[in-house]
Chains A and B, each alone.
Chain A
Amino acid sequence: QKEVEQNSGPLSVPEGAIASLNCTYSDRGSQSFFWYRQYSGKSPELIMFIYSNGDKEDGRFTAQLNKASQYVSLLIRDSQPSDSATYLCAVNKFTQGAQKLVFGQGTRLTINP
């Protein structure tokens, strides 16, 4: 089982609609979760992070966390063509006091004008 799983897509959403991106993780002890946006050929850019069960909103973005189901999601409201990118789900993993990010494969999102 992969540590962090995402549907690779592509996910196609019309402009103005809600884009919903999903991620599951295998380590039940994971405590912090991150969404990064990556444009083609560029570096990951932090969009949202969430630590507690429930929803966290920041502008057009909402992160949702359900630790019981080991499920994280990202909603993008009023999708714009500039939101077209690959969205990376990452989980913080601790080993003997050190931390590292474990990434999913990423979901490629296309917003159609």
Chain B
Amino acid sequence: EPEVTQTPSHQVTQMGQEVILRCVPISNHLYFYWYRQILGQKVEFLVSFYNNEISEKSEIFDDQFSVERPDGSNFTLKIRSTKLEDSAMYFCASSDRTGDQPQHFGDGTRLSIL
């Protein structure tokens, strides 16, 4: 069964450093998402992406965050200057259409900011 893949599985970074989280969505999917989950809290929406542009972003997704689809397969989330509070699990998800289609999640990247 096709799946969303994320790398790395665990990223440890010093505060203030830039970090890039990578995702390969399911190949025929067109809609891409990033969510995050701080330890012990609920899953929160960060950003959605379609047709090479952001469709919607949450209040969390400030100027320190950016997303990119650099080629036909990868979808990346960049955090320019990491803060301690950015420590969380980051999940990439994709769906083949909008309009109520289920989103399929990758295994996530655990980001630890020191």
Contacts and interface: CB of A to CB of B under 8 A. Distances in A.
A113 B106 CA distance: 30
Contacts of A43: 89, 91, 105-108
Contacts of A106: 42
Among A31, A34, A98, residue most surrounded by chain B Cβ atoms (within 10 Å): A98
A44 B98 contact: no
Interface string B92-114: 01000011101111111000000
B56 interface: yes
B44 interface: yes
How big is the B interface, by class?
A: 20 to 34
A82 interface: no
Contact of B42 (A45, A46, A99, A105): A105
A51 B102 CA distance: 11
Interface in A34-64: 34, 36, 42-46, 49, 51
Contacts, number: 61
A103 B43 contact: yes
A101 B104 contact: no
Interface in B37-66: 41-45, 48, 50, 55-56, 58
Contact of B44 (A34, A42, A103): A103
Interface of B: 31, 33, 35, 41-45, 48, 50, 55-56, 58, 89, 91, 93, 98-100, 102-108
14 contacts: A42-B107, A42-B108, A43-B89, A43-B106, A43-B107, A43-B108, A46-B105, A51-B100, A90-B43, A95-B56, A98-B98, A99-B98, A103-B44, A105-B42
